[in-house]
Amino acid sequence: MTIADKEQPKGAPDVPLHVAIVMDGNGRWAKRRGLPRQVGHPKGVDAIRRVVEAAPDQGIRWLTLYAFSTENWRRPAGEVAEVMRLLKLYVNSDLDKLVREGVKVRILGRREGLPPDVAEIVERAERQTAHNDKFFLQVAFNYGGRADIVDAARAVAVEVAAGRIAPEDITDAFFEDRLSTGGLPSPDLVIRTSGEQRLSNFLLWESAYSEFVFPDVLWPDFTPHHLAEGIAEFQKRERRYGGAVADDVLATG
Ligand code: FPP
């Protein structure tokens, strides 16, 4: 199966089944209130809860959140520690509810480099939700799109070196199965909050044909209403995946 097979049909799209979000603006939210940057992060977790709760009702099946990038280790140690603490707190307080509600949790990104207690808790979240299939929540944590592509390339190189596959066997589908998003559909819609318009090393391969929206709202202020607005904007777009829509093909012969 190629990536295009997993995407929605060409032309006017329906609800985006897979929405990916760059949750930007926690630091600015706090600074605007004269507070230390990291005070914005717990407010960001409140926004995560609102969106995870609302997304299934809005027709979304896969939700992928960019929580901590491979580059975020460069932030002050206190802020990094706060994000680690909040991830653990979120799993500890919300995991039972996620299990009950049929949410399957998957953490994208490199496990090595995570503090052992964080690695343990993300494994627990994945293990306890492994059999769920109502809604799929991916959290990109210690994730970088380039690092993920490099890791997949290494995995493929190992298979070639071992003689299990030949270079000609490497197709789009073969390669993308080795990304940490392997098996997921590619995102239909990528939302980045705070008005910034960058991908920042998020889902570089997977977002090749995604639609993008950039709402001018800081992540802690993001509500289900903003999510619905993003979906409405998505529905106005015309997805072509590099081809043409059927009407144009007919019109031009
Ligand atoms: C972006 O705002 C926010 C982050 C990089 C951290 C997001 C992480 C959490 C909310 C906590 C842990 C995650 C989970 C899943 C519970 P920013 O600090 O880059 O804002 P700025 O651009 O205004 O500085």
pLDDT > 70? residue 127: yes
Catalytic residue among 5, 26, 46, 72: 72
**No. of H helices and E strands in the chain?**
9, 6
The closest alpha carbon to 208, from 226, 185, 235, 183, belongs to: 185
Tens-place pLDDT, residues 43-98: 999 999 999 999 999 999 999 999 999 999 999 999 999 999 999 999 999 999 99
Confidence category of residue 114, pLDDT binned at 50, 70, 90: very high
Classify residue 65: in a domain, yes or no. yes
Which residue, judged by its Cα, is nearest atom 24 of ligand 1? 27
Q: Is the pLDDT of residue 157 over 60?
A: yes
Q: Given the structure tokens 């995570």, which residue do they identify?
A: 114
What are phi and psi for residue 28, nearest 5 degrees?
Answer: -65, -35
Nearest residue (CA) to ligand 1, atom 8: 67
| Contact call for residues 10 and 246 (beta carbons, < 8 A) | yes
On the 0-12 / 13-18 / 19+ scale of CB atoms within 10 A, 5 is exposed
Phi/psi of residue 142, each to 5°?
55, 45
Closest CA to 220 of 18, 16, 38: 38
Q: What angle do CA 9, 11, 14 make, to 5 degrees?
A: 65
86 lines ligand 1 (CB under 6 A): yes
pLDDT band at 11; cut points 50, 70, 90: low
Task: Please give the Cα distance from 107 to 219 (Å, whole number).
Answer: 20
Place of tokens 């975020």: 72
In a domain, 41, yes or no: yes
> 8 phi and psi, to 5 degrees?
-75, 165
CA of 43 to the centre of ligand 1 (A): 9
d(CA 192, ligand 1 centre) in Å: 12
Task: Tell me, yes or no, whether 8 lies in a domain.
Answer: no
Q: Which one is predicted more confidently, 7 or 182?
A: 182
25 lines ligand 1 (CB under 6 A): yes
Alpha carbon distance 87, 105 (integer Å): 13
Residue 83 CB–ligand 1 contact under 6 Å:
yes
- Closest to 63 measured CA to CA, from 121, 95, 99, 105: 105
The region that residue 228 occupies, defined by phi over 0 for left and psi between -120 and 50 for alpha, beta otherwise, is alpha
Residue type, 24: D
The confidence band for 242, taking pLDDT boundaries of 50, 70 and 90, is: confident
Q: How confident is the model at residue 252 (pLDDT cuts 50, 70, 90)?
A: very low
Q: Is 24 among the residues known to form the active site?
A: yes
> Does residue 11 form part of some domain?
no
The pLDDT > 90 percentage for the chain reads 89
Mean pLDDT of the chain: 93
- The residue range of the domain holding 61 is 16-248
Q: What is the pLDDT of residues 182-224, one digit of tens each?
A: 999 999 999 999 999 999 999 999 999 999 999 999 999 999 9
How many domains, the chain? Answer: 1
Cα angle value 107/159/171 (rounded, 5°):
75
* Position 161 pLDDT exceeds 70: yes
How many Å apart are CA 68 and CA 122, to the nearest integer?
13
Confidence at 253, pLDDT banded by 50, 70, 90: very low
For residue 122 and ligand 1, the question of a CB distance below 6 A is answered with no
- Report DSSP state, residue 68: E
8 A C-beta contact, residue 73 and residue 110: no
Whether residue 248 is predicted with pLDDT greater than 70 in this model: the reply is no
Residue 9 lies in a domain: no
Secondary element (H or E) of residue 191: strand 189-192
Q: Looking at the predicted structure, is the pLDDT value of residue 7 above 70? A: no
Residue-level pLDDT at 4: 42
Give residue for tokens 């066997």.
169
For 84, the 3-state DSSP assignment is helix
Q: Is residue 8 predicted with pLDDT exceeding 50?
A: yes
pLDDT of 141 higher than 80: yes
Residue 192 lies in a domain: yes
Please indicate, yes or no, if residue 4 is contained in any of the structural domains: no
Which domain CATH number covers 125? 3.40.1180.10
- Which residues pair with residue 103 across a beta bridge? 135
Residue 253 lies in a domain: no
